């Protein structure tokens, strides 16, 4: 099981998750992120990305490492 070294979240995803957290806090105060047009908006399509352990396990590749490997094998 070499692929499961450690569970990490990529910066792009972390940014999105953080926005979702802020969104939730705003919602409980009767506001929405869309109200602040200058702020980045969360991508709701992958908001469930980290909900299911099995999917997380399947998706948790070290993409950088694999890209290097791919490059070297070409």
Tokens representing 23?
Answer: 């969104």
- Residue among 12, 34, 36, 68 that touches other proteins (CB under 8 A): 36
Give yes or no for residue 61 binding other proteins (CB under 8 A).
no
Q: How many CB atoms lie within 10 A of CB 44?
A: 11
For position 53 contacting other proteins by CB under 8 A, the verdict is: yes
User: What single DSSP character describes residue 42?
Assistant: P
| Shortest distance in whole angstroms from residue 74 CB to other proteins | 28
Q: In the bound complex, what is the minimum distance in angstroms from residue 42's beta carbon to other proteins?
A: 12
Q: How many CB atoms lie within 10 A of CB 23?
A: 19
What span, in angstroms and rounded, lies between the C-alpha atoms of 18 and 39?
12
Q: What residues make contact with other proteins under the rule CB under 8 A?
A: 1-2, 4-9, 14-15, 17-18, 21-22, 25-26, 29, 31, 36, 38-40, 50, 53, 56
């Amino acid at each position: 099981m070499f692929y499961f070294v450690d569970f990490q979240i990529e910066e792009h995803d972390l940014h999105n998750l953080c926005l979702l957290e802020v969104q939730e806090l705003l919602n409980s105060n009767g506001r929405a992120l869309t109200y602040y047009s200058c702020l980045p908006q969360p991508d709701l399509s992958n908001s469930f990305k980290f909900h299911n352990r099995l999917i997380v396990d399947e998706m948790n590749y070290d993409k950088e490492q694999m890209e290097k490997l791919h490059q070297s094998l070409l």
